[in-house]
Amino acid sequence: MRSAALLLAVGIVLTSCGAASSVDTEAINNATLRVRADGCGPRTGFGTGTSIGDGVVVTAAHVVAGATRVEVIDGRGDASSAEVVWFDPALDVAALRPISPPSESVPLSSARANEGDSGVVATWSADDSIEFQEIAVVQRVSILTTDIYLDDDVQRPGLRITATIEPGDSGAMVHLPDGGVGIVWSRSTERADQAWTVDVPEELARRESRSELVEPVDTGRCP
CATH class of segment(s) 24-105+204-210? mainly beta
Q: What is the pLDDT along the chain (223 residues), one digit of tens a residue?
A: 333 222 222 333 444 445 655 889 999 999 999 999 999 988 889 999 999 999 999 999 999 999 999 999 988 889 999 999 999 999 999 999 999 999 899 999 988 898 999 999 998 776 767 889 999 999 999 999 999 999 999 999 999 999 999 989 999 999 999 999 999 999 998 998 999 999 999 999 999 999 999 999 999 999 9
Count of Cβ atoms closer than 10 Å to residue 55 Cβ: 21
Domain definitions of the chain by residue range: 24-105+204-210
> Taking the model in full, what pTM does it have?
0.89
